[in-house]
Amino acid sequence: MILIFAVDNNWNIGVNGDMLTSIPDDLTRFRLLTEENIVLMGRKTLEALPEQKPLPNRVNVLITRSKDYKKEGFQIVNSLEDLPFLLEKINPLGKMEVFVTGGGNIASQLLPKCNRAYITKIMKSFENADTCIPNLDLDKEWEIEAESEIFKFNELNYRYINYVRV
Ligand SMILES: NC(=O)c1ccc[n+]([C@@H]2O[C@H](COP(=O)([O-])OP(=O)(O)OC[C@H]3O[C@@H](n4cnc5c(N)ncnc54)[C@H](OP(=O)(O)O)[C@@H]3O)[C@@H](O)[C@H]2O)c1
């Protein structure tokens, strides 16, 4: 599995159920990387999506403990133990990548299953942030494979960093 997240200096990813910010080029990159693949998200991340609609041209998998949860366009799974069975069913040949797209809770639990991470590092500390993912810079099991130049959007500086499990 592959983590894909936009983080701030402290690896924060969200505030009040919402994203910290929105960078158009980053959203385009997210779309290009994840299209034709599987996107996996927790129920709270779904609720942050515009109109709670599935992401187009992707297989959308939602994780919730609510057994009767239904949402058009989403495959629902009720536990991480059941997840491999669902993935095997929808991706029997393993041709699609599985992207862990949110949020902090799901990322922390699935990190041990991930061997790659596409991180957008936003060079700012959002003081009011309330959700984060594990800091891969402090994790000896991860190293940087590639990093982009610094880009700018309005007052924000950011760069793309690809991590791999050592
Ligand atoms: N910066 C970024 O790239 C980025 C990307 C995505 C999201 N975000 C932000 O992240 C925040 C949301 O993250 P979050 O950590 O609060 O929530 P989350 O990970 O999106 O969702 C948590 C929910 O997932 C379900 N869940 C978690 N573990 C489960 C398990 N083992 N089995 C079954 N269901 C399980 C539960 O749903 P139920 O309560 O329904 O059981 C739980 O409440 C928002 O602020 C969002 O905007 C940021």
The residue contributing the CA closest to ligand 1 atom 26 is 64
In a domain, 165, yes or no: no
In a domain, 109, yes or no: yes
What is the Cβ-side half-sphere exposure of residue 72, based on CA atoms within 13 angstroms?
Answer: 2
Query: Whole-angstrom Cα distance, residue 127 to residue 1?
Result: 30
Asked if 132 and 20 count as a contact pair (C-beta separation under 8 A), the reply is no
Measured from the CB, is residue 106 less than 6 Å from ligand 1?
yes
pLDDT tens column, 131-142 = 999 999 999 999
β-partners of residue 165 are: 142
**pTM of the entire predicted model:** 0.97
pLDDT tens column, 56-111 = 999 999 999 999 999 999 999 999 999 999 999 999 999 999 999 999 999 999 99
Give the structural domain span for 108: 2-157
Measured from the CB, is residue 121 less than 6 Å from ligand 1?
no
Closest CA to 34 of 14, 53, 57, 50: 57
> What pLDDT is stored for residue 50 in this prediction?
80
Beta strands in the chain (DSSP E): 2-7, 12-15, 18-19, 38-42, 59-63, 74-77, 98-102, 116-122, 131-132, 142-147, 151-153, 156-165
The residue contributing the CA closest to ligand 1 atom 8 is 103
> What pLDDT is stored for residue 48 in this prediction?
85
> What pLDDT is stored for residue 156 in this prediction?
97
What is the Cβ-side half-sphere exposure of residue 33, based on CA atoms within 13 angstroms?
Answer: 22
In a domain, 117, yes or no: yes
pLDDT tens column, 2-48 = 999 999 999 999 999 999 999 999 999 999 999 999 999 999 999 98
In a domain, 164, yes or no: no
CATH of the domain at 136: 3.40.430.10
Tokens of 9: 């200096």
Residue 49's pLDDT band, with cuts at 50, 70 and 90, is confident
In a domain, 132, yes or no: yes
Q: How many angstroms separate the Cα of 75 from the Cα of each of 11, 45, 138?
A: 28, 15, 34
In a domain, 43, yes or no: yes
Q: How many domains does the chain have?
A: 1
